[in-house]
């Protein structure tokens, strides 16, 4: 039954017949791997938590970052990622049904359930690729200050986000992209954004209803006012002077027009979308961790799909039918469920909390 066979030993304790965990070698090793992999993911998520607590007042709000659904226009936070979660859970179910069918030696059922699992995994990876693409492309654009902080734009009349493409004016000028072939050979200039900083600033000046939204998450102003600490009181005075939506605890601070005008003087460049260096949605670390953790998870899903396919073809060829048991299906099943398990945590910490 198991791949390791104790030959010639009597099945007693001193003859190697002791099986304290009651699981085969292969399954134990899979669990060994999964526990260590769980620790890797935990380390990454804990590092994410560290950075988030460090910048707790300026961390991006996930609802304002992931708002798109494929083929549909509009603002739908969370909907698509909830769907992805559902797809992964369902593919986990088809996997466990395949394992169950394997226990009952039903070859055709195993084939069909494995097939559905692979399809589910492929849809999930595709969705994640789409999610990455949307995040990299960005939607409204923003400017970055000297200190690396992000300033986004809001239309103060409608209260909605303003895209730089909508209000930036066009100034005729020559903008040359620095390429490797016409400069220092090892230095490649960053790609130019669609609008230069001057164009954004000119458009901002011409359009009186545009104001700036900063990264700062507003504190409870009443609680701050009641404080004895002079620093807190100074903060209250500063916020009351500059911020338009002062009572909106937990929201990002929207500046008054005057404060916006002076704040824009700090801007040094235009940022569109997110990558490992810049992030129009806020803290750069958010993008870094997003790419690293969901990328590492997506890599796991991809390899899971590949391993599932190998086992799928083995099932079709009748390998396990000849072997007399479907334990391999159970082992890849463990890996597949683990991937689902990790996603449950990634979903919580990136999208919900």
The residue range among 23-31, 118-126, 171-179, 198-206 that interacts with another protein, by the rule CB under 8 A, is 23-31
**Token representation of residue 307:** 């391993």
Distance CA 319, CA 302 (A): 24
Nearest distance from C-beta of residue 331 to another protein, angstroms: 11
When the beta carbons of 134 and 214 are compared against another protein, the nearer one is 214
By CB under 8 A, tell whether 33 contacts another protein: no
What is the footprint of another protein within residues 164-203 (CB under 8 A)? Answer: none
Binding string to another protein for residues 131 to 170, with x set by CB under 8 A, is what? --------------xxx-x---------------------
Name which position in 5, 12, 53, 173 contacts another protein (CB under 8 A). Answer: 53
Binding of residue 315 to another protein (CB under 8 A): no
Tokens of 40: 């890797």
In the complex, least distance from residue 41 CB atom to another protein, rounded to whole angstroms: 10
Of 85, 117, 279, 283, the one binding another protein (CB under 8 A) is 85
The reply on whether position 23 binds another protein by CB under 8 A is yes
Of 90 and 246, CB closest to another protein:
90
Minimum CB separation of residue 297 from another protein in Å reads: 15
Which parts of 57-76 interact with another protein (CB under 8 A)? 57-58, 63
Count interface residues toward another protein (CB under 8 A).
Answer: 70
Contacts of 277 (CB under 8 A, 6+ apart): 190, 284
Q: Helix/strand/coil (H, E, C) string of the chain?
A: CCCCCCCCCCCCHHHCCCCCCCCCHHHHHHHHHHHHHHHHHHHHHHHHHHHHHHCCCCCCCHHHHCCCECCECCCCCCHHHHHHHHHHHHHHHHHHHHHHHHHCCCHHHHHHHHHHHHHHHHHHHHHHHHHHHHHHHCCCCEEEECCCCEEEEEECCCCCECCHHHHCCCCCCCCCCCCHHHCCCCCCCCCCCCCCHHHHHHHHHHCCCEEEEEEEECCCHHHHHCCCCHHHHHHHHHHHHHECCCCCCCCEEEECHHHHHHHHHHEEEEECCECCCCECCCCHHHHHHHHHHHHHHHHHHHHHHHHHHHHHHHHHHCHHHHHCCCHHHHHHHHHHHHHHHHHHHHHHHHHHC
In degrees rounded to 5, what are phi and psi of residue 12?
-120, 175
Q: Does 280 bind another protein (CB under 8 A)?
A: no
Among 46, 129, 237, 306, binds another protein (CB under 8 A): 46
Measured from the CB atom, is 58 or 199 closer to another protein? 58
Q: Which of 50, 190, 240, 247 binds another protein (CB under 8 A)?
A: 50
Report the nearest approach of another protein to the CB of residue 336 (Å).
9
With beta carbons less than 8 A apart as the criterion, state whether 270 and 197 touch: yes
Residue 180 CB, nearest distance to another protein (Å)? 33
Indicate whether 97 belongs to the interface with another protein (CB under 8 A): yes
Binding of another protein by 106 (CB under 8 A): no
Backbone CA torsion sign across 232, 233, 234, 240: positive
The answer to whether 90 contacts another protein (rule: CB under 8 A) is yes
Which residues here bind another protein, judged by CB under 8 A? 1, 20-23, 28, 31, 34-35, 38-39, 42-43, 46-47, 49-58, 63, 77-79, 82, 85-86, 89-90, 92-93, 95-97, 99-100, 102-103, 145-147, 149, 216, 220, 231, 249-250, 266, 325-327, 330, 333-334, 337-338, 340-341, 344-345, 347-348, 351-353
């Amino acid at each position: 039954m198991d791949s390791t066979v104790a030959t010639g030993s009597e099945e007693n304790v001193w003859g190697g017949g002791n099986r304290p965990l009651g699981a085969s070698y292969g399954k134990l090793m899979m669990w060994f791997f999964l526990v260590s992999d769980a620790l890797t993911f935990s380390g990454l998520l804990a590092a994410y938590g560290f950075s988030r607590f460090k910048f707790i007042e300026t961390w991006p709000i996930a609802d304002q970052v992931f708002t798109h659904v494929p083929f549909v226009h509009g603002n739908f936070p969370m909907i698509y990622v909830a769907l992805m979660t559902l797809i992964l859970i369902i593919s986990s179910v088809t996997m466990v049904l395949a394992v169950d069918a394997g226990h009952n030696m039903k070859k055709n059922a195993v084939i069909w359930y494995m097939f559905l699992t692979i399809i589910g995994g492929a849809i999930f990876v595709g969705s994640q690729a789409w999610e990455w693409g949307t995040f990299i492309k960005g939607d409204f654009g923003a400017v970055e200050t000297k200190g690396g902080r992000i300033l986004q734009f809001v239309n103060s009349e409608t209260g909605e986000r303003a895209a730089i493409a909508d209000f930036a004016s066009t100034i005729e000028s020559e903008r040359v992209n620095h390429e490797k072939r016409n400069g220092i050979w090892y230095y490649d200039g960053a790609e130019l954004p669609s609008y230069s900083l001057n164009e954004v600033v000119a458009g901002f000046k011409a359009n009186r209803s545009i104001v700036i939204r900063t990264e700062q998450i507003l504190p409870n102003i009443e609680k701050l006012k009641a404080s004895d600490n002079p620093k807190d009181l100074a903060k209250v005075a500063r916020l009351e002077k500059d911020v338009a939506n002062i009572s909106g605890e937990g929201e990002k601070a929207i500046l008054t027009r005057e404060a916006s005008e002076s704040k824009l003087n700090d801007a040094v460049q235009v940022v569109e979308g997110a990558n490992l260096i810049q992030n129009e949605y806020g803290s750069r670390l958010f993008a870094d961790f997003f790419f690293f953790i969901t990328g590492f998870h997506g890599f796991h899903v991809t390899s899971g799909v590949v391993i599932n396919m190998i086992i799928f073809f083995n099932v079709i060829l009748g390998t396990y039918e000849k072997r007399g048991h479907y334990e391999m299906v159970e082992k890849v099943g463990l890996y597949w469920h683990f991937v689902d398990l990790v996603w449950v945590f990634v979903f919580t910490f990136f999208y919900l909390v």
